[in-house]
């Protein structure tokens, strides 16, 4: 089966789709990737690439990556982001077919975190190549635009909604990363089938062992680690408010590993409020994360309080489950449900700092054996629901079903 993976974000950027491609190859798919010039998250094109360059390269493991021109994000201001998004749509739609001339594909698979409009290029290429288009939806549009405050104009939101509806209805199959997405997506999708396909965990965690060198050593004590993007939707003001409540317990530390739009604000706020139990060591490459998370006493995931966020399953939940560590979930809806169903930790209402502080304190006071049981329960749930190789086989089956429904 020949698969073209279309994704705006790809290696050497750190996104889950990188490993999904490896997993698809492992289950027998012939994969080519169509992507842009790497520039996330710093907003500057990576060394060795040019924003308006195009052509192909071979990944170190042997598959072809075709790159189209892309306007870099810059400092993630509104104009820079819009230019970034639209340039990828135009490049994949106009230049993509030329770069792929003479190549045939059975499936065009779109990895679709925001923005969903990247699927437009896939639909055009699919028509040219007579290939089926499968879109893997990671965010709900236009709801996510409204939830993050990026777009507030009602007319513009309605226009985006019309485009999304068109994309959904022109696709051959829609996959959703959260079961809670299904009703909203199906309502807009018309007769296009919608199926659940979760994000897998990261292969790096399966190969980690304690003998490997770690990039960051955590101090002794009860270390609650948050890893990932430090942005608005992560509700990190709630996290530092909970940390302030926990100041009387000096053994408890909250470690914010990562970077994002709120990094500078968080650092200044921590200093202003004299919150001595929060540490911000910065961002680390994905291959370093197993060694860091393996040292944690507990792992923290948080999201803002919003109906759309409650339907989302942050991809870090799969990562956390794979570590075998207890999890604290300060969020509503689907993500909290998974943690509770797995028996992997404790959940509390989104943006509720006193409740979050109490959940952290509860874990801190539990016997180590109980914490270990929670972690083991999470690992068992991960292996039965999010193991990468199993999900790659399932993804291939989705493709095969689409191809048989000609």
What is the arithmetic mean of pLDDT over 236-258? Answer: 97
Predicted confidence (pLDDT) at residue 154 exceeds the cutoff of 90? no
Q: What pLDDT score does 236 carry?
A: 96
- Establish whether domains 2-200+387-404 and 209-385 are of one fold: yes
Domain spanning 209-385: CATH superfamily = Glycogen Phosphorylase B; (3.40.50.2000)
Banded model confidence at residue 82, pLDDT cuts 50, 70, 90: confident
| Residues near 66 by beta carbon (within 8 Å), at least 6 away in sequence | 32, 33, 34, 35, 55, 56, 96, 99, 100
Q: What pLDDT score does 150 carry?
A: 63
Q: Where are the domains of the chain?
A: 2-200+387-404, 209-385
Name the packing angle between helices 78-90 and 119-129 (round to 10°): 0
What is the arithmetic mean of pLDDT over 135-160? Answer: 79
Q: Per residue in 322-338, pLDDT tens?
A: 999 999 999 999 999 99
Sheet order of strands, 252-257 included = 278-282, 252-257, 222-227, 298-302, 327-330, 345-348
The mean pLDDT of the chain is 92
| Residues near 265 by beta carbon (within 8 Å), at least 6 away in sequence | none
Predicted confidence (pLDDT) at residue 210 exceeds the cutoff of 60? no
pTM: 0.83
Q: What pLDDT score does 146 carry?
A: 67
Predicted confidence (pLDDT) at residue 235 exceeds the cutoff of 70? yes
Banded model confidence at residue 272, pLDDT cuts 50, 70, 90: very high
Q: Per residue in 112-133, pLDDT tens?
A: 888 899 999 999 999 999 999 9
CATH number among 3.20.20.210, 3.40.50.10490, 2.40.30.70, 3.40.50.2000, domain 2-200+387-404: 3.40.50.2000
């Amino acid at each position: 089966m020949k698969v073209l993976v279309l994704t705006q974000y790809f290696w050497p950027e750190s996104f889950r789709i990188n490993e999904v491609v490896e997993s698809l190859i492992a289950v027998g798919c012939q994969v080519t990737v169509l992507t842009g010039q790497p520039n996330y998250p710093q907003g500057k094109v990576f060394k060795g690439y040019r924003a308006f360059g195009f052509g192909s390269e071979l990944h170190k493991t042997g598959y072809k990556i075709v790159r189209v021109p892309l306007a870099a994000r810059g400092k993630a201001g509104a104009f820079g982001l819009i230019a970034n998004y639209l340039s990828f749509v135009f490049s994949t739609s106009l230049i993509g077919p030329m770069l792929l001339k003479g190549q045939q594909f059975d499936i065009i698979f779109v990895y679709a975190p925001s923005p969903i409009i990247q699927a437009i290029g896939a639909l055009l290429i699919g028509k040219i190549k007579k290939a089926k288009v499968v879109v893997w939806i990671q965010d709900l549009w236009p709801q996510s635009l409204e939830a993050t405050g990026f777009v507030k104009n009602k007319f513009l939101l309605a226009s985006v909604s019309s485009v999304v509806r068109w994309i959904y209805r022109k696709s051959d199959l829609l996959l959703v990363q959260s079961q809670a997405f299904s009703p909203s997506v199906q309502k807009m999708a018309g007769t296009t089938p919608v199926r659940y396909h979760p994000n897998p965990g990261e292969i790096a965690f399966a190969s980690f062992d304690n003998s490997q060198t770690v990039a960051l050593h955590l101090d002794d004590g009860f270390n609650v680690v948050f890893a990932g993007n430090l942005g608005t939707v992560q509700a990190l003001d709630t996290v530092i408010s909970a940390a302030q409540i926990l100041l009387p317990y000096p053994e408890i530390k909250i470690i914010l590993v990562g970077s994002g739009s709120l990094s500078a604000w968080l650092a200044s706020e921590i200093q202003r409020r004299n919150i001595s139990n929060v540490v911000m060591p910065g961002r680390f490459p994905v291959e370093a994360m197993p060694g860091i998370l393996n040292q944690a006493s507990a792992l923290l995931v948080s999201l803002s309080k919003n109906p759309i966020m409650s339907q989302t399953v942050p991809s870090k939940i799969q990562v956390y489950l794979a570590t075998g560590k207890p999890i604290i979930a300060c969020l509503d809806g689907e993500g909290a449900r998974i943690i509770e169903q797995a028996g992997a930790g404790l959940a509390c209402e989104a943006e509720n700092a006193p409740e979050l502080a109490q959940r952290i304190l509860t874990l801190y006071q539990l016997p180590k054996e109980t914490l270990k049981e929670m972690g083991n329960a999470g690992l068992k749930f991960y292996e039965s629901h999010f193991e990468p190789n199993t999900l790659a086989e399932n993804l291939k089956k989705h493709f095969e079903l689409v191809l048989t429904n000609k």
